[in-house]
Chain A
């Protein structure tokens, strides 16, 4: 199993551009999450999903959209990138029956 994969690993955007961060998992986990990690802030929950077709907002959802059309994929879309969205983004899936999360390797995003 590849676990949780994320692409790209690095991305530089200009203010106002849009892009999609990809996340996929092959463990058949229903529950997936997106976090951003900023220095001194720990991880903050952006959006999460409890299954295909069902998503909900986390702590910092503004400026981000998600959808969940399949169990495997949970893409995160930045609608109009802003410098404040410069961060490292982590996708995670949750082991059924517990809250144990499996994290992807992250995407380092810089918005100029």
Chain B
């Protein structure tokens, strides 16, 4: 079963607006990541937030994590048409010894109209 569930499934906004996507998960984690996937391409890592962090920024991206609510949000400010893509959250537990056990959500399709 999927660990992460994302909301909304699809989001359409105008260029310049902010986009917010949410991710909820079920079990304890020690990190949560967000990835972007452009149509027909592989996923690209955007940002990682650890379970002891509440907020993290990277350029126009802002990620929050609320472990008590088992939820995270990704905010993209001042969106551009190039931000059009699918965005996935992925929850992980364990670090080095557990390697690639990330569980991905179903994704949010973001469409940014010029």
Binding site for B on A (CB under 8 A): 4, 30-33, 35, 40-45, 48-50, 58-59, 90, 92, 94, 96-106
B97 interface residue, CB < 8 Å from A?
Answer: yes
Select from chain A the residue with minimum beta-carbon distance to B102.
A99
Q: Are B96 and A42 in contact (CB under 8 A)?
A: no
Q: Are B104 and A42 in contact (CB under 8 A)?
A: yes
Q: Are B45 and A100 in contact (CB under 8 A)?
A: yes
Q: Chain B residues near A94 (CB, 8 Å)? A: 99-100
Q: Chain A residues near B104 (CB, 8 Å)? A: 35, 42-44
Q: How far is the CA of A97 from the CA of B103 in the complex (A)?
A: 18
| Shortest Cβ distance from residue A110 to the other chain B in the assembled complex, whole angstroms | 15
Q: By the criterion of a CB under 8 Å from any partner CB, how many residues of chain B are at the interface? A: 27
Q: Are A101 and B100 in contact (CB under 8 A)?
A: yes
Q: Are B41 and A31 in contact (CB under 8 A)?
A: no
Q: How far is the CA of A105 from the CA of B44 in the complex (A)?
A: 10
The secondary structure that dominates the A interface is strand
Q: Are A48 and B100 in contact (CB under 8 A)?
A: yes
For B92, give its contact among A42, A43, A99, A104 (CB under 8 Å).
A99
For A105, give its contact among B33, B41, B102, B105 (CB under 8 Å).
B41
Q: Chain A residues near B43 (CB, 8 Å)? A: 43, 90, 92, 101, 103
Interface residues of B in 10-45 (CB under 8 A from A): 31, 33, 35, 40-45
Using an 8 Å CB-CB cutoff, how does the interface string of B86-108 with A read, 1 for contact, 0 for none? 00101010011101111111110
Q: Are A42 and B107 in contact (CB under 8 A)?
A: yes
